[in-house]
Structure 1
Amino acid sequence: MIRRLTFISALTALSLASFAQAATFNPGTYTAVAKGNGGDVPVTVTFSNNSIQKVEVGQNKETPGIGSVAIENLPKSIVAKQSLGVEGVAGASITSKAILAAVASCVKQAGGNVDELSKVQKKDASAPAQTLNTDIAIVGAGAAGQTAAIRASELGKKVILLEKMPFAGGAAAVNGGTVVIQGSKIQKDAGITDDSPAIMTEDYIKNGHNLNDRRMLSLYVNNVGPMVDWATTYAGMQLNTKAGFTNEAEHSKPRVMRWVDGAQGATRNFKAAVEKSGTKVLLGTPAKELIVKDGKVVGVKAQATDGTLYTINAPAVILTTGGFGANKDMLAGNLKNSLYYGVKSSNGEGHQMAMAIGAKTQMMDLGKIYPNGMEVAPGIAKSTIWSNKAAFEDNSGIMVNKAGKRVISELDTNHNIKNEEVKQGGKLFILLDEPSYQAFLTKLNITGISKEDMDKWLAQDGKGYPIVVKADSIEAAAKKAGVDGAELVKTVAKYNRYVQSGKDADFGRPAKFMKKQVAANGPYYIVEQQPRFATTMGGVVTNDKLNVVDKNNKPIKGLFAAGELVGGAMGDDSPPGGNMAWAMTSGKLAAESAVNSLNKSPRKD
């Protein structure tokens, strides 16, 4: 028999009353659904009279490489341990809770004892210790770490890649899915032959407000093209050349493209390339400290989530642990008061391990603060960056302040829009007619927002987090959002006249993005916009070989770093596609430097 039941939350399902003795079920197959990060997560469970025989997750829209890890691993764990008291997958908590909720519902339907099965099992305290030997140990499996692993393996070295999360990808798995390709063959083949490292340098200094570490910036702009050529050939990464370049105000030349299938496609290709490289990957294994002998880093100690202690001996270690945005104790300056929307794993462990042995740091108070965030919970944001593009570039979405007036071009740089938000008291608003709203919805999944999320927020009618409202008239929508409705009506009329004339006389919104007037009839939607950040711009200091230096600017032998962990290249702001390109470029160069250091000083077995 098959029964189906829909549940709203994991908490509801896991609090169900017990019905029978543990491990006693009415044999059969039962189905339930719970809400995940991307929508419904259907689960089917098969029971014998005394065991859970099979847990299967049906078609869903959970994030590949993150939620999909929970979908792959959690059902196996439930069956293996015959328990609902298993740990969810770190970083995929919403998907994990949805699976556990649905399984709990099935247990109830089968007459099982949910309370008994939900008791948390004790971990095995006798987990063994292991000592592993390798040429290069890489800590952190984001874009920089995976790139470094692929390159070092290609150059003939034995590599161990450690990742504290149960899946690889880091912040790159949930970024905007774009990458800078200046100087690459693909850029030239697309007809852009007048770009150069010098022009890119000028753009980055302007965007980074002259706070850039010129050494790191030079390393970046002169090596990003060769990195892209290598990544799209040997490493198997795929750029969406059919779609062409994305429109980015921060770049004076077309030099940004999306990966095929965005961040999700890049995540899949990284995984395939790492597997092909032969790199030994230890997931769910956070590094704890660097091993130092006679002033040289010679390995790393780590402990897996199952308790296993690892001592990894390696004459070269590359730290690629990302940023520290999720660690409030490390935040300084404006970062303390900005909404955080990055991955929960960005806790600065790499910074802390390096600093513990005397590494120099810089720019630790700087972060990439974006303008397009919604406060989905106190202090926590989600991004609408790609949805905004859909609403502004191909539709009639406009952005206004609380007084109902446009104050900046909707297609200005992220930095300028962010500054205007701050000037306007930390908040702007997007007005969308029905076609613009539908376009807005099509891109939300890129940044982890579902239509169900929007529906839930709309139902709050402006009285919760975030402000997302709907009404039949502009005035009514404005009232719900706390915006001056009478002035907003005038702003819309003025904008529509600009569309007719083909020129934005106030703020210079490009005419090619002013093809449609705001509709004369509702419904209308208003969505809040607040500053948010995920990327920290500061980090450890390295030389031009990506060798970490101490406070006296002397290289720490055996220790290299790459990616967000290394501060400086972009100053106080990073343009679209910049962080991904820097992660991969620095990861490739760090691997090459580490390999060269080993070749000069052969390992003695």
Structure 2
Amino acid sequence: MSREQSDYDVIVIGAGAAGLTAAIAAADAGSSVLVVEADVQTGGSSRLSGGHFYVAGTSVQREAGIAEDSADAMFEHYMTFNQWMVGPSIVRRYCDLSAPTFEWLTASGVKFPTAMLYVSGVGDVPRGHQPEGGGQAVVLALEAQLASRGIDLVLATRVEHLICDDAGSVSGIETSDGPVNCGSVVVATGGFGANAKLIAEHYPDAAKAGNWGWYIGSPMAQGDGLKLGQEVGAALDGHNKGLLLTTPGFSHDLEVLLPDWLILVNPEGRRFVNETAPYTVLGGLIQRQGGTVFAIFDEAIRAAAKRTPFFNAYWVDEVLAQKADEGIIIRAESIEALAEQTEIDPKALKGTIDRYNKDCDQGGDSVFFKKTQGAPQPIETAPFYAVEVRPAIICWTGTGLRVDAEVSVLGTDDQPIPGLFAAGETVGSLHGDRYIGGGGSFGPCIVFGKLAGENAAAYASGRRIEP
């Protein structure tokens, strides 16, 4: 079947932020577009997210007095932060397109107040842009544009297979209702955080968490895009990449920061990190210690741990007392007894606490330079507590379809599969071992969604895709 005989120019699989953006971009390029979504509503995990956008060189930054940030600076930071163990061409494309795509999104009605600009992740340049209304507001703003562009949306329909023509080009989709033909396809089905089998296969670090692990995204995140792509010869990228957030495992509350009044020790009984380190790196640092560490504090600290906007579910006095009574938290009358129950070398643990207490007496942290809200609190009043902490909350998954800088899906022969593009969490070629910062997963959904839609439209119309 020729492209002229297709039912649609472009079919987008998935109606999260990436898919909706791709559909709008393809329609704006003159294509007829169908969006197919497995869920009963649009948004996917994007609707549940904060909708933050990691980007450099924006009008919001300039309004905040940050005039010198640039795509070049963002690229250098991104690559250095990940020790250049990510694809430079993909990262470069994201950095170059992030600001113009951000401005496109603001023109679509999404508001990013200057007051909500913040330093995201590790660094000192504010690149985290937080929208009013979070990810849901972004999804609603995008969804509102479908009807005016004549974009067809089908919900509660899962794509079962991709269709290829005799030349090997992707030319349609197969659903339970039958085939739909097209000129090109954008796969934007999200990640696989809700699929335990794929977690075990592609994200073993997350699988190690066992029954501690849980996923914060949509239950529809089943990894459909990986299956669809592999069936037509796509390569995967980003094995064992993703973001794990820390938890004491008391409940499924998303409270991932640690209070500044505790210390973390590894199985050898030594501190290994500034306990207030960004969530973007803390999970990885714990993984380097074997995946399980202990938060240590004393009775005086526990009794003073009151609820705050940041600490409401775990690190508060009555919750900690209850969990100790239940035996979930270890409580002991001496440091030596605490070490015995945690199977930590008592001399190492006592030495670590003695050194920390000496620093507290001197008003600082000479080892990891932790800054505290008030005076640092020594650990010296019995009973003493040890709380097991693990990186176990799956925020997003990083294994996905391998793409080039135009988000064309690459086959196992490293050549583009004609007519197939990917965007959002389905892309596996962007992330390294460490998460760049808040907005570093949602931002690419918009950036690469727009690029995928434009390039899918160009392919469907027979135009050459220009970088």
Q: In structure 1, how many angstroms separate the alpha carbons of the residues matched to 2:324 and 2:350?
A: 20
Alignment of 1:72-111 (within 5 A): none
Instruction: For residue 274 of structure 2, give the secondary structure of its aligned residue in structure 1.
Output: coil
Alignment of 1:168-187 (within 5 A): 168-187=42-61
Q: In the alignment, what sits opposite 1:26?
A: none
Q: In the alignment, what sits opposite 1:288?
A: 160
Instruction: For residue 135 of structure 1, give the secondary structure of its aligned residue in structure 2.
Output: strand
Q: In the alignment, what sits opposite 1:515?
A: 374
Higher Cα Rg, which structure: 1
Q: In structure 1, how many angstroms separate the alpha carbons of the residues matched to 2:305 and 2:50?
A: 20
2:429 counterpart of 1:554: no
Q: In the alignment, what sits opposite 1:355?
A: 230
Residues 405/135 of structure 1: CA separation in 2 closer, same or farther (3 Å cut): same
Q: In structure 2, how many angstroms separate the alpha carbons of the residues matched to 1:263 and 1:481?
A: 44
* 1:23-71, Cα deviation, whole Å (9 max, x unpaired): xxxxxxxxxxxxxxxxxxxxxxxxxxxxxxxxxxxxxxxxxxxxxxxxx
2:180 counterpart of 1:312: yes
Instruction: For residue 79 of structure 2, give the secondary structure of its aligned residue in structure 1.
Output: helix
Q: CA deviation at 1:404?
A: 6.7
Q: In the alignment, what sits opposite 1:564?
A: 425
Residues 352/247 of structure 1: CA separation in 2 closer, same or farther (3 Å cut): closer
| Contact kept in structure 2, 1:134 and 1:313, CA below 8 Å | yes
Q: In the alignment, what sits opposite 1:127?
A: none
* 1:144-194, Cα deviation, whole Å (9 max, x unpaired): 112212323344433222221223222323345432021222122222233
How many corresponding residue pairs? 443
Alignment of 1:577-596 (within 5 A): 577-596=439-458
Residues 473/206 of structure 1: CA separation in 2 closer, same or farther (3 Å cut): farther
Q: CA deviation at 1:442?
A: 5.4
Q: In the alignment, what sits opposite 1:199?
A: 73
Q: In the alignment, what sits opposite 1:65?
A: none
Q: In structure 2, how many angstroms separate the alpha carbons of the residues matched to 1:259 and 1:198?
A: 24
Residues 315/492 of structure 1: CA separation in 2 closer, same or farther (3 Å cut): same
Q: In structure 1, how many angstroms separate the alpha carbons of the residues matched to 2:27 and 2:234?
A: 27
Residues 541/243 of structure 1: CA separation in 2 closer, same or farther (3 Å cut): closer
2:92 counterpart of 1:218: yes
Q: In the alignment, what sits opposite 2:126?
A: 254
Alignment of 1:104-143 (within 5 A): 133-143=7-17
Residues 270/489 of structure 1: CA separation in 2 closer, same or farther (3 Å cut): farther
Residues 210/275 of structure 1: CA separation in 2 closer, same or farther (3 Å cut): same
Q: In the alignment, what sits opposite 2:82?
A: 208
Q: CA deviation at 1:198?
A: 2.7
Q: CA deviation at 1:405?
A: 5.5
Q: In structure 2, how many angstroms separate the alpha carbons of the residues matched to 1:262 and 1:497?
A: 43
Q: Which of these residues, 529, 532, 536, is aligned with residue 389 of structure 2?
A: 529
Q: In structure 2, how many angstroms separate the alpha carbons of the residues matched to 1:560 and 1:414?
A: 31
Q: In the alignment, what sits opposite 1:384?
A: 255
| Contact kept in structure 2, 1:541 and 1:566, CA below 8 Å | yes
Residues 522/149 of structure 1: CA separation in 2 closer, same or farther (3 Å cut): farther
Structure 1 length-normalised TM: 0.63
Q: In the alignment, what sits opposite 1:427?
A: 292
| Contact kept in structure 1, 2:117 and 2:127, CA below 8 Å | no
2:307 counterpart of 1:438: yes
Q: In structure 2, how many angstroms separate the alpha carbons of the residues matched to 1:374 and 1:589?
A: 40
Residues 507/352 of structure 1: CA separation in 2 closer, same or farther (3 Å cut): same
Residues 419/601 of structure 1: CA separation in 2 closer, same or farther (3 Å cut): closer
Instruction: For residue 429 of structure 2, give the secondary structure of its aligned residue in structure 1.
Output: coil
Structure 2 length-normalised TM: 0.79
* 1:366-412, Cα deviation, whole Å (9 max, x unpaired): 212435134468xxx76432x43xx34xxx45444467754310233
Q: What is the one-letter code of the residue matched to 1:530?
A: R
Q: CA deviation at 1:507?
A: 0.3
Q: What is the one-letter code of the residue matched to 1:346?
A: A
Instruction: For residue 439 of structure 1, give the secondary structure of its aligned residue in structure 2.
Output: coil
Q: What is the one-letter code of the residue matched to 1:337?
A: K
Residues 264/371 of structure 1: CA separation in 2 closer, same or farther (3 Å cut): same
* 1:186-241, Cα deviation, whole Å (9 max, x unpaired): 1222222332223222322233332211121111111111111111122x222242
**Relative contact order (alpha carbons < 8 A, sep ≥ 6): 1 or 2 greater?**
2
Q: What is the one-letter code of the residue matched to 1:531?
A: P
Q: CA deviation at 1:518?
A: 4.0
Residues 243/361 of structure 1: CA separation in 2 closer, same or farther (3 Å cut): closer
Instruction: For residue 202 of structure 1, give the secondary structure of its aligned residue in structure 2.
Output: helix
2:21 counterpart of 1:152: no
Question: What percent identity do the matched residue pairs reach?
Answer: 25
Q: What is the one-letter code of the residue matched to 2:228?
A: M
Q: What is the one-letter code of the residue matched to 2:126?
A: P
Q: In structure 2, how many angstroms separate the alpha carbons of the residues matched to 1:480 and 1:266?
A: 51
Q: In structure 1, how many angstroms separate the alpha carbons of the residues matched to 2:143 and 2:306?
A: 35
Alignment of 1:490-505 (within 5 A): 498=359, 503-505=364-366
Q: In the alignment, what sits opposite 1:322?
A: 190
Q: In structure 2, how many angstroms separate the alpha carbons of the residues matched to 1:437 and 1:557?
A: 58
RMSD between superposed Cα atoms in Å: 4.1
Residues 248/415 of structure 1: CA separation in 2 closer, same or farther (3 Å cut): closer
Instruction: For residue 418 of structure 1, give the secondary structure of its aligned residue in structure 2.
Output: helix
Q: What is the one-letter code of the residue matched to 2:452?
A: A
Q: In structure 2, how many angstroms separate the alpha carbons of the residues matched to 1:419 and 1:517?
A: 25
Q: What is the one-letter code of the residue matched to 1:564?
A: E
Q: CA deviation at 1:283?
A: 2.1
Instruction: For residue 391 of structure 2, give the secondary structure of its aligned residue in structure 1.
Output: strand
Q: What is the one-letter code of the residue matched to 1:211?
A: M
Q: Which of these residues, 89, 92, 117, is aligned with residue 244 of structure 1?
A: 117
* 1:93-129, Cα deviation, whole Å (9 max, x unpaired): xxxxxxxxxxxxxxxxxxxxxxxxxxxxxxxxxxxxx
Residues 407/362 of structure 1: CA separation in 2 closer, same or farther (3 Å cut): closer
